[in-house]
Amino acid sequence: MSIANYQVPAKTWQVELEVKRSKFLTFAANTESRESAEGFIKELREQHPQANHVCWAYIAGAPDTTVRSMSDDGEPSGTAGMPMLKVLEYSGLGDIAVAVVRYFGGTKLGTGGLQRAYSDAVSLVLTDLPTTTKVHRSVLKLTYDYGVDGHVSRLLERYGVQDVVAEYDHQVIVTLAIATADLSQCKSELMNITAGKILINETV
C-alpha cells in the first residue's frame, strides 16, 4: 500500500556546485511516472550536449514505491547514481527526479571524491526545494435513491472530494475521488445517513 500523503517537488529547481573546478549543475523536478522522469533527463541531455556526464536518479511515485532507477552515465560504477538515489531515499520525497550535469574541470576527484560531490549536489538542490503535499486519493462510485441525495451531497462536501461526476437515472450514481486517509470514516458515515441503502464500489 502506498503512503497516503507525501511531499513532492512543487516546481523544477536548480543549483550549482563547484568542486576542484568541475561544475555540477543539479536539477530536481516533479515526475510522477518512469516516462516523465526519463523525459526530464532526456531534455537535460539535449540542453547540455557539451557536458561530460548527465547522471541521474529518480523515485517515480510514493517514497515507498519500487519504481526507482539511477545511472552513473560513464562515471566509475557506483560513484554517482547510487549516492544520488540514497539521498533521495533518505529525503522522504516522492514523485522526484534529480539529474546532475557535470562539466569536468581538469582535476580528477577519485571515487570517494565523486561520491561526495554527487551526494552533496543532490543534498544542495533539496535544501531549498519548494515542496507540496500530494494526497493519495481513492475513487468511489456511489449508487443511492433520490431521497437521500441532499444528505449525501452535504457529507461529501465536508470531505472535500474531487472529480465529482453525477448521473441521474433510476437512482443517483456519483463517482468521486476522496483522500484515502478519509476513506474508512466516509464510507461508515455514508452507510449511517442512508440507513445502509447505498451501494459503494471502490477502486484505489
Tens digits of residue pLDDT in 113-140? 889 999 999 999 999 999 988 888 889 9
CA angle, residues 118, 131, 11, in degrees to nearest 5: 80
The three-class DSSP label of residue 174 is strand
Last residue of a domain, one of 113, 133, 153: 133
Q: Which residues of 140-164 are buried (b: 16+ CB within 10 A; e: fewer)?
A: bebbbeeebeeebeebbeebebeee
Tens digits of residue pLDDT in 71-112? 999 899 999 999 999 999 999 999 999 999 989 887 888 888
40 with 101, same domain: the answer is: yes
| Residue appearing with cell numbers 576527484 | 109
Q: Considering the chain, what is the average pLDDT of its residues?
A: 90
When divided into structural domains, the chain yields a total of 2
Q: Which domain holds residue 144?
A: 136-203
Q: Distance between CA atoms of 37 and 41, rounded to whole angstroms?
A: 6
170 with 109, same domain: the answer is: no
Q: Distance between CA atoms of 97 and 87, rounded to whole angstroms?
A: 12
Tens digits of residue pLDDT in 1-56? 455 678 899 889 998 888 898 899 999 999 988 999 999 999 999 999 999 999 99
The helix-helix angle for 183-193 and 149-158 (nearest 10°) equals: 160
113 with 30, same domain: the answer is: yes
